[in-house]
């Protein structure tokens, strides 16, 4: 079992965002690759994340899911990398605003498109639903990104965690739009991101071109054995905390919180 953070990922998905960010962070990490549908349905993986989704970050028995949480965790680990902002600043609020938009409105507006067969069995109607979604809500999201989210090449003034997330998800639009023609500002952003050294390395790892460890990437752990070990370690950590995964440490009230309660009761 490793104390090094391990990111569970799948090629072509939103887990590219934390992968890019981990490379920017320049601290050791490992990867665990999900290859297929079977891996997503693996019972041990579902114990770690009952939603059966990537990204999932294993932090020595603690499990973190949700891009927003994982990306801020990575960014806040080392401010000197400049990939997020300091909590409590107006810039940090704007970072969370960008992440919130990408994770909800933007990211999820693709899902009826990728899973259209679950909405109707008739392929003709599936085509109509798809066309309506692309030319309605999805186009509106791309217009919003072009007109309001991007400032110059990036969301802020250099590539940061929200840019990594937008890069990972906005690439899916290639299936539905001619991005260069329809949304030149987004194409400019994608091109600028694609020339970043960490993005290049992340894409090489995802595609399997870069298999061996390099820089702060220490290599892959094997899915079936690691996911089992991770479940066992998670159980130990949950037992030690005495609470569930969503509330680690909740029982240990902070001194300030206790004194506030005392004042209220007095
Ligand atoms: N709310 C989650 C959504 C994660 C998500 O939708 N992940 C997709 C990939 S982009 C997934 O793992 N889907 C399951 C599958 O592909 O079987 C987050 O923001 O991290």
Ligand 1 mean position to 111 CA, how many Å?
A: 10
| pLDDT surpasses 50 at 266 | no
Asked if residues 30 and 209 have their Cβ atoms less than 8 Å apart, the reply is no
Answer whether 67 contacts ligand 1 (Cβ < 6 A).
yes
| pLDDT surpasses 90 at 6 | yes
Reported as a pLDDT band with limits 50, 70 and 90, residue 28 is: very high
Closest ligand 1 atom to Cα of 67: 20
Answer whether 54 contacts ligand 1 (Cβ < 6 A).
yes
Radius of gyration of the chain (CA): 20
Query: Which residue's CA is the closest to the ligand 1 atom numbered 13?
Result: 53
Render pLDDT for 254-264 as a digit per residue (tens, 0 to 9). 555 444 444 44
CA distance 52 to 43: 9
Answer whether 13 contacts ligand 1 (Cβ < 6 A).
yes
What pLDDT, on the 0 to 100 scale, is given for residue 260?
A: 45
What pLDDT, on the 0 to 100 scale, is given for residue 264?
A: 45
CA 206 to centroid of chain Cα atoms: 14
What pLDDT, on the 0 to 100 scale, is given for residue 111?
A: 84
Q: What angle do CA 188, 169, 127 make, to 5 degrees?
A: 105
pLDDT above 70: percentage of residues in the chain:
90
- The stretch 180-204 carries a mean pLDDT of 98
Answer whether 40 contacts ligand 1 (Cβ < 6 A).
yes
- The stretch 174-202 carries a mean pLDDT of 97
Answer whether 11 contacts ligand 1 (Cβ < 6 A).
no
Query: Which residue's CA is the closest to the ligand 1 atom numbered 1?
Result: 66
Cβ-based burial of 117 (10 A; exposed 0-12, middle 13-18, buried ≥19): exposed
Render pLDDT for 114-170 as a digit per residue (tens, 0 to 9). 888 888 899 999 899 989 999 999 999 999 999 999 999 999 999 999 999 999 999
Looking up tokens 């023609």 gives: 181
CA distance 53 to 142: 24
CA 73 to centroid of chain Cα atoms: 11
- The stretch 180-197 carries a mean pLDDT of 98
CA distance 231 to 8: 14
Most ligand 1 atoms within 8 A of CB, residue of 54, 100, 175 to mutate:
54
What pLDDT, on the 0 to 100 scale, is given for residue 247?
A: 66
- Two tokens at 82? 């400049």
Render pLDDT for 60-115 as a digit per residue (tens, 0 to 9). 999 999 999 999 999 999 999 999 999 999 999 999 999 999 999 999 999 878 88
What pLDDT, on the 0 to 100 scale, is given for residue 259?
A: 47
* Closest residue by Cα to residue 49 from 13, 14, 8: 8
What pLDDT, on the 0 to 100 scale, is given for residue 245?
A: 65
3-state secondary structure string, the chain? CCCCCEEEECCCCCCHHHHHHHHHHCCCEEEEECCCHHHHCCHHHHHHCCCCCCCEEEECCEEEECHHHHHHHHHHHCHHHCCCCCCCCHHHHHHHHHHHHHHHHHHHCCHHHHCHHHCCCCHHHHHHHHHHHHHHHHHHHHHHHHHHHCECCECCCCCCHHHHHHHHHHHHHHHCCCHHHHCHHHHHHHHHHHCCHHHHHHHHHHHCCCCCCECCEEEEECHHHHHHHHHHHHHHHHHHHCCCCCCCCCCCCCHHHHHHHHHHHC
- Two tokens at 60? 């020595």
Closest ligand 1 atom to Cα of 54: 12
Most ligand 1 atoms within 8 A of CB, residue of 13, 46, 104 to mutate:
13
Query: Which residue's CA is the closest to the ligand 1 atom numbered 20?
Result: 66
Render pLDDT for 205-253 as a digit per residue (tens, 0 to 9). 999 999 999 999 999 999 999 999 999 999 999 888 876 666 665 555 5
């Amino acid at each position: 079992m490793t104390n090094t953070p391990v990111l569970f990922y799948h090629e072509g998905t939103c887990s590219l965002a934390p992968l890019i960010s981990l490379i920017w962070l320049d601290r050791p990490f490992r990867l665990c690759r999900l290859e297929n549908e079977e891996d997503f349905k693996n019972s041990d993986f579902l114990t770690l994340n009952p939603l059966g989704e990537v990204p999932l970050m294993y932090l020595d028995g603690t499990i973190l899911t949700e891009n927003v949480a994982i990306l801020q965790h990575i960014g806040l680990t080392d401010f000197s990398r400049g990939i997020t902002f300091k909590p409590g600043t107006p810039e940090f609020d704007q970072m969370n605003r960008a992440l919130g938009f990408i994770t909800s409105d933007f990211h999820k507006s693709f899902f009826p498109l990728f899973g259209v067969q679950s909405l109707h069995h008739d392929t003709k109607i599936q085509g109509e639903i798809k066309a309506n979604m692309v030319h309605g809500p999805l186009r509106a999201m791309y217009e919003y990104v072009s007109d309001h989210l991007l400032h110059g090449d990036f969301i802020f003034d250099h590539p940061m965690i929200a840019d990594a997330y937008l890069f990972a998800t906005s690439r899916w639009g290639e299936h539905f739009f001619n991005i260069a023609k329809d949304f030149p500002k987004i194409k400019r952003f994608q091109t600028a991101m694609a020339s970043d050294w960490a993005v290049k390395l992340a894409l090489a790892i995802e595609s399997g071109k870069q298999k061996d460890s390099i820089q702060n990437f220490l290599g892959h752990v094997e899915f079936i054995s690691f996911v089992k070990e991770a479940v066992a370690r998670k159980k130990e950590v949950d037992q030690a905390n005495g609470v569930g995964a969503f509330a680690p440490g909740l029982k240990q009230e902070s001194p300030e919180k206790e004194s506030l309660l005392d004042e209220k009761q007095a």
